[in-house]
Amino acid sequence: MRVSELELDLEAFEGPLDLLLTLVLKEEIDLVEIDVAGIVVAFIESMLGRSGAEDGAGDCDLGESDLEACGEFLVLVSALLELKARLLFDDEAAELAELEPEEAVEELARRLAAYRRMKEAAAWLTSRLEQEQDRFFRLGPAPLRPSIERPIDPHDPAVLAAAMRALATPPKTVSLAHMSLRYPPLEQFVGRFRSLLAKRSRFDFESELGDLSRVEQAVAFLALLELGRLGEIAISQAAPFAPIRVERRTRERSPAWKSARSA
């Protein structure tokens, strides 16, 4: 019996198995609609019928069946199952469409051989794990390995002594003189502004700063506020960040002076 001559009667196909494989690979029949279990049942029924007809009795012995036909059928059905499983992966659809039936059989046999090798390797690793699971090894270098000698480059002892001497020398004290702030006396700017107001009745604060440092400008502003607190000057500013105008205040005459003047 030749497997290619197997007649199938399925819901989606009717005809020989060889024609079914050709139509599936050419994508003229959707493999999803093909019942692979029905193909297996049809093959078994065909083999049972053939065996019974040869024996002439009701007892059917599958052991006496054509082993070559069974092997060919298993390869073809396995290829169908693999193609049907590959439909889940879109990237392999283009490659499967170009395969001929013989190429599909060879590809399936190659993959089955690779799967068998991996399965045997996994079984070997499992057996080794069971044999060695009660043994523990100390991590470290091999005891018989010769020690590695690291040669030292020649050095001048004088250079080493100079380096040690430099490390033993205490470092120089870091000077913080540049960080110290020197504040000029507040009375210096108070006297300066009083002498200036004795000559003029008003002046702009910014015009009198000149080349003063930021610290001296801050002290000058504090002197200005001190004069304002004492009531000697009036400070005004037209807008934020506008020039500060300083004006001398006129002292009011005391009541005793007024009464003596009227008398």
Tens digits of residue pLDDT in 113-134: 888 889 899 899 888 888 887 7
Tens digits of residue pLDDT in 3-13: 656 777 676 67
Question: Using DSSP, how many helices (H) and how many strands (E) does the chain show?
Answer: 9, 5
Burial letters 61-80, b for 16+ CB under 10 A, else e: eeeebeeebbebbebbbbbb
Tens digits of residue pLDDT in 198-250: 888 888 888 888 788 888 888 889 998 999 999 899 999 888 888 899 998 87
CA proximity to 32, closest of 95, 81, 73, 66: 81
Backbone angles phi, psi at 243, to 5 degrees: -60, 140
In the chain, the percentage of residues whose pLDDT exceeds 90 is 6
Q: What is the DSSP letter of 32?
A: G
Helices 17-25 and 101-132, packing angle to 10 deg:
90
Tens digits of residue pLDDT in 134-167: 777 666 666 676 777 777 778 788 888 898 998 8
3-state secondary structure of 23: helix
Q: Are strands 202-204 and 14-16 parallel, antiparallel or unpaired?
A: unpaired
Distance between alpha carbon 188 and the CA centroid of its chain, in Å? 65
State the Cα–Cα distance between residues 46 and 52, nearest whole angstrom.
Answer: 10
